[in-house]
Each structure stands twice: as C-alpha cells, then as structure tokens.
Amino acid sequence: MDPAAAIELEILNRQKPIDEAIASGLSDVQKFYKNTNVFITGGTGFIGKQLIEKLLRSCDINKIYILIRRKKGKNVKERFSEITSEAVFNRLREKKPKFEEKLVPVEGDIAELDLGLTDHDRTIICEQVNVIFHVAATTRFDEPLKVATAVNLRGTREALSLGRDCKKLKTFVHVSTAYVHATHQMVNTEVHEEFYPCTWTPEAMLAIAEKLDAEQLNAITPSIIKGWPNTYTFEKALAEALVKNASDLPICIVRPAVVIGAYYEPMPGWLDKTCLFGANAIVASPGLGLTHVIYADVSSKSSVVPVDYVNNSIIVAGYVTANVRSDVPKIYALTSVSRNMITFGQIQKYALEFAAKMPSPKALWDVFVVFTASPTLFLLLTWILQYLPAYIVDTFLKVTGNKPRFVDVNTKVYKTNVALSYFSSKTWYFQDKNMEELFNNLSKTDQVIFNFDVASINWVEYINVWCLGIRKYLLEDNLTDAEYAQRKRIGFKIANYVILMLLVYFVWKILGCSVCLYLK
C-alpha cells in the first residue's frame, strides 16, 4: 500500500465517532436545521460543495436551493448533474442515495441584479427559505475592479435584499475572509473580530463602478484600493460594511483564513478540481519538481484552515445567530495564528518531507526549493532554476513533435507565487475569541459532529493529509505506484546532481578562461 493511502485509511477510521454522534439525535445544531429550507450562493464552488454535503449528511434538511449560473455553454441542469456526480458527494451517496431529491437548482448569477433570479424563483425562495449562506465570491486577486465590485459587493447587496424579503428567515451567514483587513497598515498588528473603517463607502464604490467602464476603472484601481493588496480583499471589506448596516437581519460574518483541503470530511484531503492554483499550487508544484524557488518569508506566521472546519463553523454560526441576536452583527474568525501557530516555512518543510517520503508517480523532477524574501533574488533564481530548464525541455518537446508546456506552467506558478507573496511574507495576528467561544459553548455531541477547534490540529499530520489530497484529487494519481515513484525520485536526484556538477564545471571553465585572458 502507498504510504499516503495508509494515512488516508487511518484518518477515515476516525470518522466513526462522527457518524455515531450524527446518529445519536442529541445534537442541538441538528435540531435547529431539521426540516429547514436553505438557500446557498456559491454552492458550485469549493467551500459551497462541501457545505452542501455536510448539511445533507449531518442534518435532516428539507430543501437546499442552490444558485447556479450558465457556464461554458452548459445550462443549469447540466451543471447541476455534473456537480452532484463529483467525488465530494460519494460518502453522502452511500448513506443517502436519494440526496439529490433535497437539492433544488435555481438559475441565477451573483453578479446580476436580484441575483439574476426569475420572479417565480424569487417568490418561492422568499416564501420558503429559513437559512441563507452567502458564500459566493470571486477570489481572484487580480480580478478587474468592475467584476470584483459586481460579484463581491453588489452580489452581497442583492443577497441581503433577498434576505430581507424572506418571510421565514431565521439566520443569514455571510462568508468573508480573515484577510479582509490585512492591509499594509495592519502588518504585525492584531486584527480583531470587529468592523474596521474603509476608505470608501459601499454606496460610493457601487456608484463609480456603474458609472465608469472597465478600462477607466482599471486605470484608477491602484488609487481606489490604496492600502489593500488586491481587489478581492478590498471588495470583501466593503461587503462587510454592507453587512454591518444589516443588523435588522439575524446575520453574522464568518472570516476563514486560507481555506485548503479537508482534514476529515467528506474524505481526508478532499479538494475540488477548481483548486489548482493559490496555496495548493505553491505546495503541489514543488512536490512535482516544477518549482524550485518560492518568494516568501519562512518566518511569517501563516494561517491555513481545513475546508471541513470552515463549513462546520459556518453551520454552527448560523445556528447561534438564529438564537442569539445582537445589535451589531457578530464576526467569527477561523484562523490558527493565535492558538495554534504555524509558520510558512514549517508548512513547506512538512510538505517537502511528504514529497520526499511519498512522492507522486507523476513527479517531473527532483524536489528541492530555495526560499527568498528578496524580489531581485527571486527573479534571478526563477530564471536560472525554472525558466532556463523549462525552455530547454520545451525545445526538446518541439523537436520531437510534442506540445511544449513547461514554460506556460512555470509562468502560471510564477504569477501565483507573486500574487501570494504579499501574504506569505507578512504576518497579521488574527484574533479569534468569538470563534473560540462559539466552539466551547457547544455540547460535546456538537463538538464531535461540527468540529472546528483549530487548537486541536496536528500540523504535521494535517499537512500530510492536505498533500495526499493534492495527489488524489488534483494530480489524480490514485495514491498508487509508491515503489515506482521512489525509483523515479532517486533517478531525478542523481540526474540533478550530475547536471549541477556539469554546470559548476562549465562555469569554472568559463571563469578560468576569462581570468587567463585577463592576465594575458
């Protein structure tokens, strides 16, 4: 058995207590969600899919209405069929084969007015829905401001408007990000679970986004988002300002940190196929031998959280918000910096150790990485250790009649690295007192079913689980061929040393010749 498959099996065996707690009928959270009708935006994304799976597997939900837009020539029915056949629902499918009967696909678009809903669908939602989870967002850091405003800001405004019209609404959870106020001014300071002032009001931003075209907005984006690293966090901050003014609703905010693979549910390490970039790419690419230079400060405090912990906290926050109202919407931050700190360097260390002990048979070269916080050195080493070999390999592929791809892959990873470097080279001390209290106030049964206690995460084990998830769900190597992968790794390592020695020899010869010519 592949060592990674053995880890997966060990974690799977720990799910028995969760199943027993779900079946016990002693959960207060389950009782709240029993027979409720839920509306979810972002249900087709990474977080949304696992949220749907967990709700249906752990609670006796009546119906879940999922906002789905047409995409890439596929209609809503086709997309719904594809989504429900994905691996995330395999465990649910075994336990509840008819789970799809509880799902209602609703055509719409988060970027449109009224969420793109028809009058008929909107009426049904307003008459039936008890719970709203607003998860939808564009998470691209380089998203044009006009698009980011339409999706992350106006989409939130429209979701809040829908919530106000829901006659039976009990709770509304807005999913934000822990990095919503990770501004330049807040580096190395505490970021609390509270609202912070923004340089723009939501209304002013919406007005200018509707008045100017995309090109005009792009030209002035740096001056608009000044202080924020990208359009994503800027628009999320403005969206929170809208929520702050929605205290007439039973509403709260959940701020997860960087969301990565599942720890336990639905399967250890589960990742959506859409998770090919971001933090996953920075771990997967070095593990494949594609990336050898990472732009980061290894001592910076990182904050990553498993997707199942995120959704457990979202579900519980919804339950508590329905029962405990406050004048100002409560904010819950799911982060690890305060109570279970891990550095960026430690994450990479554990991931690289996994790649060495349990390499993927799809690896393309030896695993070694140089970390630097210097932009100049990063660019120089990237060209020497990544682009130069990529051009050589692509040239060989062209000559042999194959499609060149390594330069393009390296460019994508390079851009991801640069985009993430702002976060991987700085530290924000996110406080999570509200989230800690939220968990501690749960019954023992609910703590088992809906665990989101970041203090209990074993980082070495969890990073291994995350890495096996990358192998299984993104690289799709089925956690097999361990012996072949090890032989391949040894071969790559030998070849790497040979090439390194040849490079040293040629450099020495060139320098030697240069010195001789100079002396003459």
Predicted pLDDT of residue 511 = 66
Q: Supply the pLDDT for residue 516.
A: 56
Angle at 423 between CA 379 and CA 433, to 5 degrees: 165
* pTM for this predicted structure: 0.94
Range of the domain at 159: 3-272+302-342+428-474
Give the integer Cα–Cα distance in Å for 384 and 407: 13
Do residues 380 and 254 share a domain? no
Q: pLDDT tens digit string along 321-355?
A: 999 988 899 999 999 999 999 999 999 999 999 99
Percent of the chain with pLDDT over 90: 77
In a shared domain, residues 393 and 465: no
Same-domain check for residues 57 and 187: yes
For residue 56, CA distances in Å to 27, 108, 463 come to 15, 22, 27
Answer whether residue 150 is part of any domain.
yes
Residue 286 is assigned to a structural domain of this protein: no
Same domain, 252 and 371: no
Specify if 109 maps to a domain. Answer: yes
H, E, C per residue of 206-236: HHHHHHCCHHHHHHHHHHHCCCCCCHHHHHH
Q: Is 357 in the same domain as 435?
A: no
One-letter-per-residue 3-state SS of 272-315: CCCCCCCHHHHHHHHHCCCCCEEECCCCCEECEEEHHHHHHHHH
- Do 445 and 391 lie in one domain? The reply is no
Does 281 fall in a domain? no
Residue 57 has pLDDT above 80, yes or no: yes
Question: Average pLDDT in the 395-414 region?
Answer: 89
Q: What is the mean pLDDT of residues 435-456?
A: 98
Does 332 lie in the same domain as 252? yes
Q: Are residues 501 and 363 in the same domain?
A: yes
The β-bridge relationship of strands 258-260 and 304-306 is parallel
325: Cβ–Cβ under 8 A, 6 or more apart, which residues?
250
In a shared domain, residues 351 and 366: yes
Question: Is residue 67 in some structural domain?
Answer: yes
Looking at the fold, whether 323 and 355 belong to one and the same domain comes out as no
The rounded distance, in Å, linking the Cα atoms of 408 and 176 is 32
Report if residue 172 sits inside a domain. Answer: yes
pLDDT at 222: 95
How many domains are there within the chain? 2
pLDDT at 278: 84
Q: 518: pLDDT confidence band, cut at 50, 70 and 90?
A: very low
pLDDT 10s digits, 373-392: 999 999 999 998 888 888 88
**Co-location of 150 and 185 in the same domain:** yes
CATH number of the domain bearing residue 173? 3.40.50.720
Are 156 and 182 in a shared domain? yes
- Among 167-171, 188-192, 260-264, 321-325, whose mean pLDDT is lowest? 321-325
Contact of 449 with 21, CB cutoff 8 Å: yes
Task: Inform me whether the pLDDT recorded for 512 exceeds 70.
Answer: no
The model's confidence at residue 84, banded by pLDDT at 50, 70 and 90, is very high
Higher pLDDT, 169 or 508: 169
